[in-house]
Structures are given as structure tokens and as C-alpha cells.
Structure 1
Amino acid sequence: MGAATTEGPGQLPGGWGRLSTRPQAGYGVSLAKLWGQEPAGGLILMGTALPRGLEWGGDGAGGAQPLQAPYSRGRMEPCIWGAPKALGGNRVGGGFPVLLEEAHIPLFLRGEEPPALPEHPGTEPVGLPRMDPADPMRPIGHHMMPAPSLPRGGPRLGLKTGSRSRRAGATGARMGVLGWLVASALCAAVRGRDQGLSRPLPHFGSIYHVRGVINLPYAEIEEPFEAWYNLTGNKSRIQYYGGQVITYQLAGVKPYGMQYKITPETTEKEVNARKCFQLPGSKEDVVRIQSVFPSLEGFKFLREEYYQGRYCAVWQNVTLWAQKKNVYTLWVTNSSCGVAPVHYEMRGYNSLLGSHYDKYEISYTDFDNSFPSSVFDIPVNETKKCGLLPGSTAEHRVLANPMEDLVGRHQPRAHEVFHHYRRRFGRRYGSARELEHRQHVFVHNMRFVHSKNRAALSYTLALNHLADRTPQELAALRGRRQSGAPNHGLPFPAERYAGLILPESLDWRMYGAVTPVKDQAVCGSCWSFATTGAMEGALFLKTGVLTPLSQQVLIDCSWGFGNYACDGGEEWRAYEWIKKHGGIASTESYGSYKGQNGLCHYNQSEMLAKITGYVNVTSGNITAVKAAIYKHGPVAVSIDASHRTFSFYSNGVYYEPKCANKPGELDHAVLAVGYGVLQGETYWLIKNSWSTYWGNDGYILMAMKDNNCGVATEATYPILA
């Protein structure tokens, strides 16, 4: 709540003088003529949060001086402070909050304990009592409105008073005004160090709305969200990335509840088409509404501290199970309606692995306890088209409600998805330690994939056969060395293709010039697959016959030209070897690919596809690369594939803003077999060597925009003799 800005004087109930709500520079505003005359103590509305060690400047006899509040830590929190004489404060007990109906600002009083508040189901008093016109000192009722249940007592402020103020307070105590003022108190109002954060477990209410950001450090994700929660109505809604993905948990739908997910979907035919999916509950898996706060069972008060400029109470739970120690920490602060969440953090340590295996954080903002009921209205035209969520049964539930695995203390759904993954790809691990390690890696990758898919990008990701690999292991698949050494390639003959009319799209697979996708396995041999792919295409254009060529012969035999087999190499060095040795062996003559280094054993008489050289396509020239593909078949290209989005690409036009595109920054070699346009986005059709489990059956559409990831930076093709 900011400083009061209502213009002009306002009439208090029952003719009780006027409320001046025009802010005064530095001091806020004052209440005048509370009893029809200016009270000696006065009332002061402050425009900033009250810091520690405030001094009351009044002398109890003349006009009171405003409290000074020079230190507010960047926050504007209005409050009213009552002078002891004016309001009967006798410094017995603590400070009690009162919300003035006219100003809607919190009032803090020092004085005796308040009487019990009247009982009204679902409500607590808000505002001043209504006054009897015949006797302005006598309240005749309360204005009521629904309010969340809040801890009693409210915050305290350390106020120092002089002896004359104490004498004035004793006089004022006889006036009896404090009783009805305190009876109308609602809740603690001002955040701050000296307001004594309450010790009962925080309660955020049965109805709330909040925004926040999910931070997954190990997955390199920061994901904004917004949530609406209605315990009474038995429904919740959480949306991600500004509403690009919306999830509903409707526990009241018979018989077992229903979950909806509205999300953009990108395929080969359409980009970001709005789709709706549903997942009904079952007897074994009943749908429950989803909070974005952890269950505080077992949490204990730890300390008070500043967190991101706000004074907070810190609550913590430490859970031990098996070899794991999970520490859950929650920071909360006082707000105008009780407590408000600030930050939640989970840190997991595994003694079996000897390391921190997990960490995630949620930061909260804009917390309040009201919102329109219409937020739970699901668009009818979209629900009519709702299909079942794709993926495994366990992954269904994770996709429908991702928040559950972040605020819950256990992750049975994620573990179930991992077991399904192991069965699908035949994963067997050598020890319990490795099993534990792979499961943690998988969970982080799963979070990354699901979060990115909620971001409504031009492409989607999927959990593929690499989902249990660490970033270091994924880097081993990117085996293009970055020597920076000049090669002996010929320049691209641009003048020869001046005026060439290029087709809008081209796919050499349709003409039979591309062999099936292979798997390089755990070997940095991508450079050999890019080289043989370009050689196979060139040989097809010359002979009309598609002949699979051997990557293994290049791995085993081209060391003398600067390649390092499974530890990486460069395409142009492979061309140099082929040129010197009179061609390259076919897969049939040399033997199948091993996925590891081997003995060089080629037969010279069986070498195919002699070349006279190779061409370096003009760096960064999109048109030149398209012309090279059109006239010479698939070309070998180098890219920046270091981003996790590339590792888990599934479909759509891939555009990664973080991608590099300069020589020396490209770490993976692939084959460009065509190009085209999808929903207005121009792309390269790229063949990878990570098996058909990766991407779209082993292929990826990479955006031409900005030469993203460097496809056009170091393209080459061979010249057959």
C-alpha cells in the first residue's frame, strides 16, 4: 500500500470532525478535530515505513510534532500513529492496528489489551464503528466485510516517550476511546524490522493470488508464473510465462476431478497454435487443487533477517530420508493483511553422491487475498477441442501440473517418469550410486524441457535418449575441433551463380541423395558424419546411386591430418585425407561404424569418390549456401550446438538467441540437406548424427534468421574428380 493520495478533507462517521488526506512533504497527513477540537496529541499519518528507534516529538501540552521516518529501505508504507494523550495510550501492552474506514490506512495505537473481537463467520471487523449521532462517543455497530484469518496481536513498534507524554497518556486513558478503536482492528499493517514478526506458522489464507518466478539453477531456467487459489471453491489456476501456458486444477469436478492445460503447439505445419488438453483424475490419482506454497508441516522458526531489502521471518524444515538431506526454507514478511510470502528455497544434499543434487527457488511478489471468480472460466471454444495430454502416463501428470513437484517434498511423479524412461531406452546402471546420479540428472533435464515448452517458443523440446546425460557428457557428442588453422579450400564461385533462381524450398531426401540417420554414440565423431554426408550427396549427383560411405575409415586413418578420432576433428582435414588417398571406403567394404577408435585397415582398390578439392562457401552468405545446396547437393556445416535446447530439440523452427555464429565458436558438425519456409520462418533442414530418437527423426529445422548458430559460417562441399 502506498502513501495516501485521496484529495480533500473527508467527513468522519457521526460528525467526528474532518480527515485531511492531502500528504504533507516529509510527514504525511494529520487527523484534526477528532472530538470537534484539535487534540493536543494529534494524529500523524506517515508516508514511509517506520524504522527502529523512533522518538515521539510531542511535549504532551502543545501541538504534537510529526514522527520522523527518514529510513524506509525503499518502501512506502503508510501508517497512522496516535499520540498517547489523544487516544488514551498508557503504554500498557503493545501496539494494535486499526483500519480507518475513510482513509483505508493502518492506525497503530499504544495502550491496553483490546477486547475480544465479535464473532462473525468468515468475517472480521474492518473500519471504524458506526457512531450514534446523539452520542458520538458511543459505537452502535460495525461495518463488516470478508477478510482472511490473521494472527492476533499485530506488530510492535519501539516508541520512546518522555515523562510529560506519559502523564498525558494517563489522562487520556480515562477517555475510554481506545476500547472501540481496538475492537475494529483488522490486521498488522507495516513491514519492517521493528514490527516483531509473528511466531505462529504463517498462514496465507484460503483464497489468494500471487505472482512469482521459479528459478532452477541446474536447469538454467527462470520461469515467471501467476497463481490463483481457492480452497473453498476447490479449484486453482497457475499460468506460466505470462499466460502462454495455463493449467487448471478443478478438484470439484466429479468423480475424481479434472485438469486442463491450454498451451501453444508447434508442428511441421503450424507454429504456436493454441491447443487445449485435459487429464481427468482417477480413483488412484485424484485431482487436487495446487498451492504454490509448500506445506508448512514440520517447519520451525529459524531467525529474522533482511532478504532482498525486506525484513523477514525465516522458517525451515530439514528432512532426512535414505542418503538424502533436504533443507526447505521459507522467508515471509508482514503485509497489510497479515503475512506475505517472499522466497522459498530447496537445497538437497546426497551423501551417496557426496554433492548437492538439487536446488530450486521460488520468489513471490504481488500477494493478495482477493481476485475475480472469472479467472477460473475456461474458454468454451477451447475446451470443446480438448484432447488427452501426450506422453507417458506419469509425464501426463507432470505436464498438467508442474508446480506440484516444486513445492512438494517428494517427487514420486518425476521418479515414475524416470522409470518409464529407463524401460523405453533400456537403461541399466552399474550401481545404486549411478542410478541415483542418473535419476537426478534426468529430473533436472525434465524440468528444463517442460519449462521451455511452456515458453511458447518457435520449437518444442522432448525427453529423448540423452535425458540422463550430464552437460559434460553431452559436450562429448560435439566433436568438432576449433583449431582456427587455415585450410586449402577453394573460394565459392559466386559469379558462376549470378542470376540463379533458387527454389523456395529444397529437400534432397526427396530425391534419394541422403542416407538414413545414424548414431555416433559416445564418440566425438560428428565431423566424420558431416564429411561423409557431403561426399554421399556429391557421389549421388554424379552417379545417380546412393552409396553409404564409411565414417570409421576417417576416424581410424586421418590422424596424420590433424583429426583425433572420437576426440574430435574437422571436415576439411577429412577432405584432405580423402584427396591424398584417392577416395574413401564404403561402409560395406570397410566395416560398420564402431563408435570408438579402431585400427586403420582400408583396401586401396576399394576406394570410391576421388576428389580434386573442396570449396569454402562464402562465410555468412545465406544465398551462397542455398546455391551450394541447390547445385552441389548436401553440404557439411558447423554449428554452435552447446545449448541444452539443441540437445532436446523435437520439432519446429529452432532459434536460440544465445547461439554463437563466429568461426572458433562452433562445436558441432552436421549436414545441411535442404532449406524451406514454415509459417513465414525460413529454415535450414539439418541432418544430425544423434540417432532417430533425437529431434524430428534425427533432423532439425534451424532458423536462417541472424545466421543463428552459425549454419552459414563454415559450410563446405567436395569437388569430385
Structure 2
Amino acid sequence: MTLLWIACCLGIIYLPYSEIEEPFEAWYNATGKESRIDYYNGQVKTFQHAFELQYGIGYKISPETTETEFNVIKCFQVNGTKTTPIYSQPIFPDTSSFKFVGMDHLKGRKCELWRNVTYGGGRKQTFSLWVTDDGDGVEPLRYEMIGVDTLLDSHFDKYYIDYDNFRKDVDPAHFHKPKGMKCVGFPGPGVEHHLLLNPIAELMHKPAHMHGLFNHFKRQHGRTYMGHENEDRRDAFVHNVRFIHSTNRAQSSFRVGMNHLTDYLRNEVQSILGHKPSPGPNGGLPFPAKLYAGVEPPENLDWRLYGAVTPVKDQAICGSCWSFASTGTLEGALFLKTGKLVKLSQQMLMDCTWGFGNNGCDGGEEWRGYEWIKRHGGICTAESYGSYMGENGFCHYNSSEQVAQIENYVNVTSGDAQALRIALFKHGPTAVSMDAMQRSFTFYENGIYYEPKCKNKAEEMNHAVLAVGYGVLQGKPYWLVKNSWSTYWGNAGYFLISTKDNNCGITSDATFVVLK
């Protein structure tokens, strides 16, 4: 089977394990040593010019938004080297090892099925290609890869590419980058550049750059894995990096990026989502809307600027987010009362509130922590109780060292954005819950987060965080929220999230405390 040396087509890349469906348009000229692939309807354009310089040049043209520029089209370039040359990127796999399997039907068309099966390291990879041949050259319909761990009989990878509107006539002008456009080097570490420059290459059975990036990630984060765990971590890393790069090519209102969670398995990410809502009302007071009827909160508010917010912490692999949200609103309330910022103990709430329905690292609710503090006359500081461990511990405390006695706690009217603004304005940082199950949130980096897949009903919330302000950026209103996944996550541990449609449920289950 011989595929055309010069061709162009439309297509969609399907990455089920990365939750991605990405449209592309590709042009390929093997004889001219040039190719071009556009993603998401031309939002991102990549050019591979193997004929330039000794080892080729790759270009990427995409919008860039900074603090001073908004959606400015920029050109980035990478020069090939002897060890990592730039080559024209085929839009089909190398078929030299494929064998004819038989005739098949796909998309209502009769076609040939060709297959290449490889084995290595206890893994089986099956590459399948469906093509038609009308006598004037082979036309691809679908390329699919399925990876199976033969030891565990489980799938570690799957993706496929559907081809459409296949054309044999290619205008040479498509391979030329825009005239007069100045191209600069890629920002950030070089190990990731080739994946950003030519993302489809990894799917054409050229995983070297991805494996190199994983090794760099392990060194960067001081992680060492052996045997099967290394393969599992690498698989998770590959799926997550594919998701990150594809999401950024889609040019949404926020960016995602690699962080310390990039090699986490999905069940590990779920384990740090520890908000466990229970049905029925709690013992909190309703929000006093009439009391604040004439209050007009400012357009922008950031309690960090007033010294009311303690540094970002890391809950580790422990579903203790509820304890961080609880102490966060307490710390803010205590600051408003005394003018002093005191770090309070999350570990104390984890260790001591089991009798009130919380379950330490296995999750809980903020209001149950408030109830315990009300009953027992306060909470210890982090200094007096001891360091946060990221594990359940033995309850121990000296009542003489407790601070922040709670008079009551208030449930902000569910779904009422104005009520939450007033609560933040009048009472300081406020505990909120959200749906953080989406992969886009796991790898949030900056910008205003908006995820249509998010749920927003109170009973569907799974993560507790701390709202510390709100504002408007480029005409889009947002909540300013503190997470507890370390400063390596998000924007130094914080994120902006759109107020539109109560995205991810930020206003669905918010509480603040009133101190004695």
C-alpha cells in the first residue's frame, strides 16, 4: 500500500482517555519536504519546513494574550538539530510494516483494513488503517491505535483519527508562512517545544519527545518509579499532556499547564476532592438579605491586599479540602475582628471532628467543623496544635490555647451571586464548594476559568475552596478563589473563575462564620 506523497485533508483527532476531540486541517508534501497542520479551525497553525537550514525549521502561529496585549497573533520557531531534526509531518502513519487484513466497511464505504501489531515490555499495540482505493491513489478514512497491557489485560491507550475531504491537489501557497511575520523562539523549557510545535507527530508512532518530557518531569519533581508503576505514571502523564496541549490550542478564556499533578492517576485526583455534601439543612443561619438591602459592594475586592489571607498550603494526597476552606474563613473573620492574621490548624479539624460527621482525609463538610468549634470553644493555631500531616492523626489540644470562638455560621443564599459579593465585602473570605472533577480544572494555570461541563447544584459539589474576592477582567466578571493544592498549582495557588451561569457551583454552597 502506498499513500500519496502530496495530499491535504480535514480530520478530527479523538483522544478518549484525554477527553479530547480536536479538528484539524493538514497539507503534506513529502517531495518538497514541507507540511502544515492547522488546529481548531485555524486558531493554531504549524509549519514543518525540513528544507530550511541543515536540519529544518518548525513554526507555530497562534494568538497570545499577556498583561499588555490581547489575542495578538505571534509566530514562534524552533530550529532543528542533528539529534532532533524538523521533518515534514505525514498525516498518515508509516505503512511499511502494515499487513492487509481484509475488506471492511466504514462510514458507509467499502474499504481495505491494514494492520500493524507490535509487542514490547508486556504491552501490545495494534495500529489499524482503513483506506479506499479508487484507482487514482489510496485515500485514508481512519487511523486507530489501541494499546493493551498483556499482563493486566487492560487498555493503557487509545486514539483514532478520522479523515475527511481528502484532496490530491495542493496549492503550494499553503506551505508558506505569512510574509513579513517575525518569528521568535518558544518561551519556557525546551524539552516541550517539539510537542507544541508538531503535536500530531506523537500519534504517528513517534513517542520519543513525550517520553523525554516525562523523564524531565520526574527529575524536576524528584520522583522515581519502578517497573509497572513507571508505565502507569507515564500513561497518565501522556494522556494529561495531550489534554493540556489540545486545550490550549482551543484558545479558551483560560490556559492549562503541566503541574505537580500531571502524572497523577484519575483516582488520585479524585481522592483530593474531599467535600462530601449531605442532604438536608445544617444548623447555620440564613443569609440576612434584608439587613444588607442597601449595601452596594465595590466592583473589585481582593482580601489578600488587606492582609486577611494566609499563604497557600498543600493538602497533599488527602481529601481534607473542607478543613482548609473552614480555617480560611475563620482566619479572615479573626483578622477582621482583631487586625491580626493567625494561621489556624486544619489538622485539628481533621483529627477531632469525626463525632460531628467529618472523616479526615476521606472528606467532610465545612459546617461540621464549625459545629465542633462552637461546641468546644474555639480552634487551635497551627503553631500550638502542630504541623499539618496530610494524614489522619490523634486528637489532642489544650483548651487554653484555642482562639476564634464561633457565635454562629451563615449559609449564603444558594445561587445568589450578589449575596456572595456582599458576604465577601462585609464578612471577609468565604468558604465555597465547587465541582472540581473536570480535567481542565486539575491543570488550570491562569485566565478566567469557565467550563461548560461543570455541575453547579449544591449536592453535586466535590471540592471546598476559599473565595477571597471578585472583580472584572477585560469585561468579564470573576470570583477570586484560593485553592489548597500548593503554589505549584494554578496562579500561585489561586484561580479566577467566571461568574457566568454559576459556573462550577461557586455560589451554590457558601458559608461564613460570625465570631463571638
TM-score by length of 1: 0.70
Report which stretch shifted further, 397-406 or 229-238: 229-238
Moved more, 369-378 or 595-604: 369-378
Residue in structure 2 matched with residue 588 of structure 1 by the alignment: 383
Conserved 8 A contact 1:478-1:524 = yes
- Identify the residue that residue 548 of structure 1 maps to in structure 2: 343
SS at match of 1:579: helix
Q: Distance in 2 between matches of 1:506 and 1:338?
A: 64
Q: 2:159 aligns with which of 339, 342, 360?
A: 360
Question: Partners in 2 of 1:475 and 1:268 — Cα distance?
Answer: 33
Match of 2:97 in 1: 298
1:537-592 per-position Cα deviation (integer Å, ceiling 9, x unaligned)? 11111111100000000000001111011000001111111111111110000001
**Cα distance between partner residues in 1 of 2:391 and 2:72:** 43
Aligned to 2:489: 694
2:427 to 632, 649, 664: 632
Q: Taking structure 1 as reference, are residues 503 and 337 closer, same or farther at Cα in structure 2, changes over 3 Å only?
A: farther
Question: Which of 9, 17, 23 in structure 2 is aligned with 1:224?
Answer: 23
* 1:513 Cα deviation after fit: 0.7
Task: Kindly indicate whether residue 419 of structure 2 is the aligned counterpart of residue 610 of structure 1.
Answer: no
Q: Contact (CA 8 Å) 2:321, 2:484: kept in 1 or not? A: yes
C-alpha deviations, 1:206-257, integer Å up to 9, x for none? 2111111111111111111110111232211001111111111111111321
Q: Secondary structure at the match of 1:364?
A: strand
Deviations 1:513-549 (A, max 9, x none): 1111000001100000000000001111111110000
**SS in structure 2 at match of 1:534:** helix
Pick aligned residue for 1:389 from 148, 171, 186: 186
Which structure is higher in helix share?
Answer: 2
The match for 1:559 is 354
Given the alignment, which residue of 480, 488, 495 partners 2:275?
480
Q: Kindly indicate whether the alpha-carbon contact (under 8 Å) linking 2:147 and 2:158 is maintained by their aligned counterparts in 1.
A: yes
Name the CA distance, whole Å, in 1 between partners of 2:472 and 2:455. 22
> 1:426 maps to what in 2?
222
1:505 Cα offset (Å): 1.1
- Could you tell me which of 390, 393, 411 is aligned with 1:598? 393
Match of 2:289?
494
1:415 maps to 2:214? no
- Distance in 2, Cα, partners of 1:335 & 1:261: 35
Query: Does 1:468 find its partner at 2:257?
Result: no
Shift of 1:353: 4.6
Alignment of 1:208-247 (within 5 A): 208-247=7-46
Q: Could you tell me how far apart the structure 1 residues matched to 2:297 and 2:134 are? A: 64
CA deviation after TM superposition for structure 1 residue 495, in Å: 1.8
User: How many angstroms apart in 1 are the aligned matches of 2:290 and 2:274?
Assistant: 34
- Contact 2:4–2:138 (CA under 8 A) maintained in structure 1: no
Cα deviation, 1:93-138, whole Å, max 9, x if unaligned, reads xxxxxxxxxxxxxxxxxxxxxxxxxxxxxxxxxxxxxxxxxxxxxx
Q: Tell me, yes or no, if the aligned pair for 2:45 and 2:61 is still in contact at 8 Å.
A: yes
Structure ID, larger Rg? 1
Q: Does 1:507 align with 2:302?
A: yes
Instruction: Tell which deviates more after alignment, 609-618 or 317-326.
Output: 317-326
Structure 1: which amino acid aligns with 2:193? H
Q: CA offsets, 1:264-285, max 9 Å, x none?
A: 3345666544332111111221
**Percentage identity across aligned positions?**
56
**Are the structure 2 counterparts of residues 219 and 492 from structure 1 closer, same or farther at C-alpha, using a change threshold of 3 Å?**
same
Aligned mates of 1:275, 1:697 — CA distance in 2: 26
Q: What is the alpha-carbon distance in structure 1 between the residues aligned to residue 472 and residue 30 of structure 2?
A: 48
Partner of residue 345 from structure 1, selected from 139, 144, 149 = 144
1:680-719 alignment, distance < 5 Å: 680-719=475-514
Judge conservation of contact 1:267–1:651 (CA < 8 Å) in 2: no
Question: How far, CA to CA, are the matches of 1:695 and 1:271 in structure 2?
Answer: 20
Residue number among 161, 168, 185 corresponding to 1:369 in the alignment: 168
Q: Which residue of 1 aligns with 2:440?
A: 645
Alpha carbons 1:257, 1:288 under 8 Å: kept: yes
SS of equivalent residue, structure 1 residue 494: coil
Q: For residues 709 and 242 of structure 1, what CA distance do their matches in structure 2 show?
A: 28
Q: Secondary structure at the match of 2:233?
A: helix
Take 1:265 and 1:552, find their aligned partners in 2: how far apart are those partners?
Answer: 42
Specify the SS of the correspondent of 1:209: strand
Query: Letter of the aligned partner of 2:414 in structure 1?
Result: S
CA distance in 2, matches of 1:533, 1:338: 66
User: Which ranges of structure 2 fall in alignment gaps of 5 or more residues?
Assistant: none
For structure 1, which runs of at least 5 residues remain unmatched after alignment? 1-200
Q: CA deviation at 1:352?
A: 4.3
| Alpha carbons 1:266, 1:651 under 8 Å: kept | no
Shift of 1:678: 1.4
446-455 vs 228-237, which moves further: 228-237
Q: 1:450 aligns with which of 222, 245, 263?
A: 245
Q: Quick one: higher RCO (CA 8 Å, sep 6+), 1 or 2? A: 2
Which residue identity does 1:468 align to in structure 2?
A: D
Alpha-carbon offset, residue 293 of structure 1? 0.2
Equivalent residue number for residue 621 of structure 1:
416
Which runs of structure 2 are paired with 1:44-55 in the superposition (5 Å)? none
**Aligned-residue CA RMSD (Å):** 1.4
Query: How many residues matched?
Result: 516
In structure 1, C-alpha distance between the alignment counterparts of 2:319 and 2:480, rounded to whole Å: 22
Q: Secondary structure at the match of 1:496?
A: coil
Distance apart, 1:645 and its partner CA: 0.4
Structure 1 residues 308 and 492: alpha-carbon distance in aligned structure 2, compared to 1, 3 A threshold: same
* Secondary structure of the corresponding residue to residue 664 of structure 1: helix
TM-score, length of structure 2 as denominator length: 0.97
Q: How far off is 1:603 after superposition?
A: 0.7
Q: Which residue of structure 1 lines up, in the alignment, with residue 366 of structure 2?
A: 571
Task: Report how far residue 679 of structure 1 moved.
Answer: 1.4
